[in-house]
Amino acid sequence: MKPMQVAIVAAHPDDAELAMGGTIALLVSQGHQVTIIDATDGEPTPYGDPITRAREAVEAARVLGCERMNMGWTNRTLQHSVEARHQLAGVLRLRQVDLLFVPHAADAHPDHRALTRIAEDARFDAKLTKCNLPGEPHHARRMLYYFCTHLKVVPQPDLVVDCSAFAATKMRAIACYHSQFEANPKNRGVPAWVASMCHFYGSRIGAECGEPFAAPECIGLRDLSALLP
């Protein structure tokens, strides 16, 4: 299998870990180049600050074995704009991203919804010719939606990734965000229910742990045995 360039676009540090930390670790183990692209620093939060959150994000990426970068946009004010989508499109071109993960559109968080639109359009804009974007025209071959913790509905996933071997790695990465889940009494239960959701989705495919994704486009298979548990 040829290594892929994989990018996970997240509104805030910890979004990617909560939603698909096991899948990230799995992709890394398979030799793919994986980058989390955080849109903002995630601050302010009740018990965090920019320096602490940045340190936690670096440590979480180390646990997962992936790279990480930050777009430097402002938390709580993300807007779907031509400027934002072109900035992200430039990153996708320079990194020649093959597989792009973005937040599911049915989300209660305004930053997540805005980032979904930005990323969808950035994927399209990245293939444009005769423009001022950096790098060469490039179109990510596949885009998948991950399920954020701010979802207020439970959409039917199109696929569930068996990440059983990396469930513990996912939880270690989440634990790196001490300011979000240990220092804040209101959020101390979040890691436990994230783990419960992983076990639930895993049970749907006969695995110990699974992470759900939705596909906005048809998924093609060359080997139907890949459908077997």
In a domain, 116, yes or no: yes
Three-state secondary structure call for residue 169: helix
Residue 228 resides in a domain = no
Domain containing residue 157: CATH number: 3.40.50.10320
pLDDT in tens, 155-187: 899 999 999 999 999 999 999 999 999 999 999
Whether residue 225 is contained in a domain is answered as no
Query: Which strand (E) or helix (H) includes residue 69?
Result: strand 67-73
- The model's pLDDT over 61-96, given as tens digits with 9 standing for 90+, comes to 999 999 999 999 999 999 999 999 999 999 999 999
Closest CA relative to residue 14, chosen from 32, 41, 35: 41
Tell me, yes or no, whether 226 lies in a domain. no
In a domain, 199, yes or no: yes
Residue 145 falls inside a structural domain: yes
pLDDT digits (tens, 9 = 90+) for 31-61: 999 999 999 999 999 999 999 999 999 999 9
Predicted confidence band at 229 (pLDDT cuts at 50, 70, 90)? low
123 domain residue, yes or no: yes
Rg of the chain over Cα atoms, rounded to whole angstroms, equals 17
206 in any annotated domain: yes
**Encoded tokens for 134:** 């950096």
> How many independent structural domains does the chain possess?
1
Domain that holds residue 19: 5-217
Q: For 87-186, where are the E strands, in sequence order?
A: 99-103, 142-146, 159-162
129: alpha, beta or left, given left = phi > 0 and alpha = psi -120 to 50?
beta
Question: Cis peptide leading into 44, omega within 30 of 0?
Answer: yes
Rounded CA-CA distance 211/164 in Å is 9
Taking the C-alpha atoms of residue 229 and residue 227, their distance in angstroms, rounded to an integer, is 7
